[in-house]
Amino acid sequence: MTRPTTAHGAPAEDGGAVTAADPATDTPVAATGGRAWWRGAVGRTALVLLLAVLAVALAYWRSGSGVVVSQAVVTGILIGGVYGLVAMGLTLIFGVLDIVNFAHGAFLAVALYVTVEMTGRFGVHPYLALLVAVPVMFLLGAAVQRGILSFSIGQPLENQLLITLGLALLIDNLLLLVFGPNPRSVALPGDSGVEILGAVATVSRLLAFGVALVLAALLYLLLQRTRLGTAIRAVAANDTGAQLVGIDTRRIYMLTFAIGTACAGAAGVLVSPLVTIEPTTGELFNIIAFVVVVLGGMGNVVGALVGGLLIGLTEQLGALYLPGQSPLLAVFVVFVLVLFLRPQGLFGSKA
Amino acid sequence: MRKRWTPALAVALPVVLAACGGSAPPGATGSDEGGGTGDTIVIGSLHPLSGAAAADGQQMDNGAQLAVDAINEAGGIESLGGAQLELASADTQGAPEVGQSEAQRLIQEGAVALVGTYQSAVSQNVAATAERNQVPFVIDVSSADEILQQGYTYTFRLQPSAEVLGQRGAEYLAQVSEAAGAPAQTVAVLHEQGPFGTAITESFRAQAEQLGMTVGEVITYDAANVSDFTTQITTVQESGADVLMVAGYYRDGVLVANAVQTVGPELDAVYGVANGAFDTPQFPGEVGAAGEGVFDANYRLDITNPETQELAELYEQTHGDQMRTAAVLSHEAVRVVADALERAGDTDPAALRDAIAETQLESLMAQSGPIAFTETGENENATPILMQVLDGNVRQVYPEEYAETPPVYPAPPGL
């Protein structure tokens, strides 16, 4: 994200705000290539806008109805926000700890059940469950990292991968054992349809989308403006180097995993009114979340949000172009294209 | 360091996809000792006890167990000297290959017959295994027509096939809407893209067109990944259809009902055919007002039958949960096997198969006669009935002989 390379499909509007994944290389490039960078950014923005117009025009041509297209765009953006929300914690863990965390969906399912219990047993507003779910998931994440995953640091990557996979199965089946297989649901009081540009959306989706934006902003500030964030980025860039300048990398690993898991907790509470809650619900998000993480650039929370929006829109518009196909088909076409043109992800820095 | 995830992900994606299906070691449940000899007769029960369909799978296993308990309490199999039945439960995890290996294991451990399995793909594999080993297999739930088109002689099916479900679904829609003076004209279809949704849609469309309805917009979706239906429902609204037919499973059915409420298209009815959501006791509770008035044409336990009511009460006492229709079908599958054992007076699988083929057994399901099998093994009296969500409860509404209350038609969304 530091050079104005050839044109590609990256949404470049906020490119300037998210360059700093690697602070060491940021300053020199910004100083030497300022004008060229801006030209590249304008060019890319124009390209993205052109692609967006083409995509919508094609959708209109295929469906022949403006209402359907605007509904697809609104739904795509709102679903994309949810995907971004789920992927944010994952991208942090992926980028910093280099762990392919297959238990992310299962952690999300735990938060779903925390919400079910809070609303069902104590009758509180679903969003109040954030106050419980986020700290609980933070502690759970810290315990899992310190108690299980920290022992596999320095060993082959497959070890961690299989540990998280096993953890996911364990959590899924524990939920099945404790809560039984019957589907549960959480209702958001006052959840109704709202009209936007001729399309409709529910309040719960709008709120989930709004909180996804807030959470992305908070994580971004945490990473860019605090000592902890600087340490996390340093460990992500070079853990030996970070250790040499006196950063306790063990602590950073634990905190990062805990923050990532807490994000899954927040996501779980926010999506609870949108899904049918079963022990396997978390699995639904796993594959999409990985696609979003890789698409957006590992470790980049803004990238996760933009990647989520891109995937959400692709899914909805793709269903109009290719009726009768799995939405994942269009998603993976875009995924492969982006990786082909920009292997490090939309907002990833070159390693 | 940053590059390392690429091979890792390449390894991991197939692994995690596979893990959605089969993961736990086989043989975690089941009987300790072989049966078929001595005083206990083992019947194998193959259902998805874990995984995405665990709710139905556990209900079905419970239903089968209740049948075994009832038969044992009533003195076992009299023609075999009061031999007791034993249910050997296995978890298919909803995965065809696990179902197949578990079926083989149960047969080797001496099961005289198998019942199961819920998913058509699993049933297909189990049917092949049963045929190879010449052990009778009674399917409780699985709709795919192909299972019984392989010329198998050891496989029988209790639930109506996809063909019957789609046909009757179209007939009921025509009859109910005509009787209400608002005949359905244009039907939009929203169905899951697998063999189940496709087969139901095909037979529904054929029959509907024969009855003078137009099947307009047909939209398919992937039940495993879909997370919102507002775009699809907007498309239906724009197409000007007066009825929306939906064939799918539970989670997607809930999303459809919610999207219909959000978008608010002008429809006379939301009409499920063999829908996995619209007639479950959980559905009205989960979607609230959005479920009101929704129809479903599906096979159904006959709640107007006192024996079925008794079983439902027993189930609720034993398991603290409302009994689903699938549990009754598993219950019936065990009863079919027990009844055949009684008539055959023999645990030899071939003799048992012949006895099952001659079954004439009263059913707890809403069907047009006793359980009896055709040449191919289909239950010839199996039929769907029409249900509707009224005042937050799923009610039997049509045909009249099974109706708890008359249907409300038109039933526009947000009634």
Cβ A98–B1 below 8 Å, yes or no?
Answer: yes
A-chain residues near B8 (CB < 8 A): 100, 157-158, 161
SS (H, E, C) chain A: CCCCCCCCCCCCCCHHHHCCCCHHHHHHHHHHCHHHHHHHHHHHHHHHHHHHHHHHHHHHHHHCCHHHHHHHHHHHHHHHHHHHHHHHHHHHHHHHHCCCCCCHHHHHHHHHHHHHHHHHHHCCCHHHHHHHHHHHHHHHHHHHHHHCHHHHCCCCHHHHHHHHHHHHHHHHHHHHHHHCCCCECCCCCCCCEEEECCEEEEHHHHHHHHHHHHHHHHHHHHHHHCHHHHHHHHHHHCHHHHHHCCCCHHHHHHHHHHHHHHHHHHHHHHHHHHCCECCCCCHHHHHHHHHHHHHHCCCCHHHHHHHHHHHHHHHHHHHHHCCCCCHHHHHHHHHHHHHHHCCCCCCCCCC
Q: Are B150 and B215 in a shared domain?
A: no
Whether B408 maps to a domain, the answer reads: no
B271 in contact with A, Cβ within 8 Å: no
A-chain residues near B249 (CB < 8 A): none
Beta strands in B135-255 (DSSP E): 137-139, 155-157, 186-192, 214-221, 243-247
Q: How far is A82 from chain B (nearest CA, A)?
A: 10
Mean per-residue pLDDT, B154-168 = 94
Query: In the listed set B341, B357, B373, which residue is the last one of a domain according to the structure?
Result: B357
A-chain residues near B4 (CB < 8 A): 98, 157
Whether B250 maps to a domain, the answer reads: yes
Cβ B19–A169 below 8 Å, yes or no?
Answer: yes
Out of B232, B234, B264, closest to residue A67 by CB: B234
Q: Are B127 and B215 in a shared domain?
A: no
pLDDT at A24: 41
Interface test with B, best of A62, A164, A182 (most B CBs within 10 A): A182
Q: Identify the helix (H) or strand (E) that includes residue B115.
A: strand B113-116
Q: Are B284 and B207 in a shared domain?
A: yes
pLDDT bucket at A299, cuts 50 / 70 / 90: confident
Give the residue with greater pLDDT, A309 vs B22.
A309
Q: Are B131 and B253 in a shared domain?
A: no
A-chain residues near B54 (CB < 8 A): 176, 181, 278-280
Whether B153 maps to a domain, the answer reads: yes
Between positions 334 and 353 of B, the ones with CB within 8 A of A are: none
Cβ B11–A288 below 8 Å, yes or no?
Answer: no
Q: Are B281 and B391 in a shared domain?
A: yes
Question: Residue B156 corresponds to which tokens in the numbers above?
Answer: 């029988």
Mean per-residue pLDDT, A138-164 = 89
Out of B1, B23, B282, closest to residue A182 by CB: B282
Provide the 8-state DSSP code for B98: H
B19 in contact with A, Cβ within 8 Å: yes
Q: Is the pLDDT of residue B19 over 60?
A: no
Out of B5, B13, B54, closest to residue A98 by CB: B5
SS (H, E, C) B252-304: HHHHHHHHHHHHCCCCCEEEEECCCCCCCCHHHHHHHHHHCCCEEEECCECCC
ipTM computed for the complex: 0.79
pLDDT bucket at A113, cuts 50 / 70 / 90: very high
Q: How far is B292 from chain A (nearest CA, A)?
A: 16
pLDDT at B71: 95
Q: Is the pLDDT of residue B5 over 80?
A: no
> Domain limits of chain A?
66-341
A-chain residues near B221 (CB < 8 A): 319, 327
Q: Are B67 and B116 in a shared domain?
A: yes
Whether B412 maps to a domain, the answer reads: no
pLDDT at A226: 94
Give the CATH number of the domain where residue B257 resides: 3.40.50.2300
pLDDT bucket at B270, cuts 50 / 70 / 90: very high
B-chain residues near A169 (CB < 8 A): 19, 23-24
Q: Which residue is closest to B1 within chain A, CA to CA?
A: A98
Whether B33 maps to a domain, the answer reads: no
Cβ A351–B54 below 8 Å, yes or no?
Answer: no
Q: Are B211 and B98 in a shared domain?
A: no
Mean per-residue pLDDT, A175-192 = 88
Mean per-residue pLDDT, B185-212 = 92
Q: Model confidence over A211-264: pLDDT tens digits?
A: 889 988 999 999 999 999 999 999 988 888 999 999 999 999 999 999 999 999
pLDDT at A22: 43
Please give the mean pLDDT across all residues of chain A.
83
Q: Where are the alpha helices (DSSP H) in B180-249?
A: 195-210, 230-239
B16 in contact with A, Cβ within 8 Å: yes
Whether B363 maps to a domain, the answer reads: no
Quote the CA–CA distance of B18 and B37 in Å, as a whole number.
38
B-chain residues near A72 (CB < 8 A): 231, 234
Quote the CA–CA distance of B52 and B56 in Å, as a whole number.
9
Cβ B286–A68 below 8 Å, yes or no?
Answer: no
Quote the CA–CA distance of A261 and A246 in Å, as a whole number.
26
Mean per-residue pLDDT, A4-11 = 40
- For chain B, the domain total comes to 2
Mean per-residue pLDDT, A300-316 = 89
Q: Model confidence over A21-63: pLDDT tens digits?
A: 444 434 333 344 567 667 766 777 787 788 888 888 888 887 7
B310 in contact with A, Cβ within 8 Å: no
B285 in contact with A, Cβ within 8 Å: yes
Give the residue with greater pLDDT, B161 vs B31.
B161
Cβ A181–B2 below 8 Å, yes or no?
Answer: no
Nearest partner of B24 among B49, B61, B41, judged by Cα? B49
Mean per-residue pLDDT, B339-356 = 94
Cβ A169–B55 below 8 Å, yes or no?
Answer: no
A56 in contact with B, Cβ within 8 Å: no
Give the residue with greater pLDDT, A321 vs B255.
B255
Q: Is the pLDDT of residue B12 over 60?
A: no
Structural contact between residues B76 and B347, judged by C-beta atoms closer than 8 angstroms: no
Cβ A298–B24 below 8 Å, yes or no?
Answer: no
Between positions 115 and 154 of A, the ones with CB within 8 A of B are: none
Q: Is the pLDDT of residue A167 over 80?
A: yes
Out of A102, A173, A183, closest to residue B282 by CB: A183
pLDDT at A350: 53
A-chain residues near B51 (CB < 8 A): 280
Cβ A326–B250 below 8 Å, yes or no?
Answer: no
Three-state DSSP state, B373 = strand
Whether B18 maps to a domain, the answer reads: no
Between positions 325 and 344 of A, the ones with CB within 8 A of B are: 326-328
Cβ A182–B321 below 8 Å, yes or no?
Answer: yes
Cβ B230–A200 below 8 Å, yes or no?
Answer: yes
Mean per-residue pLDDT, B331-340 = 96
| Range with lowest mean pLDDT among A328-337, B74-83, B201-210 | A328-337
Contacts across the A-B interface (CB distance below 8 Å): 148
Structural contact between residues B66 and B318, judged by C-beta atoms closer than 8 angstroms: yes
B10 in contact with A, Cβ within 8 Å: no
Out of B11, B55, B288, closest to residue A182 by CB: B55
Cβ B1–A351 below 8 Å, yes or no?
Answer: yes
B114 in contact with A, Cβ within 8 Å: no
Whether B311 maps to a domain, the answer reads: yes
Q: Is the pLDDT of residue B330 over 90?
A: yes
A246: Cβ contacts below 8 Å, ≥ 6 apart: none
Cβ A201–B230 below 8 Å, yes or no?
Answer: yes
| Range with lowest mean pLDDT among A159-163, A267-271, B13-17, B340-344 | B13-17
Q: Are B275 and B309 in a shared domain?
A: no
Three-state DSSP state, B109 = coil
Domain of residue B398, residue span: 163-298+385-402
B241 in contact with A, Cβ within 8 Å: no
Q: Are B176 and B136 in a shared domain?
A: no
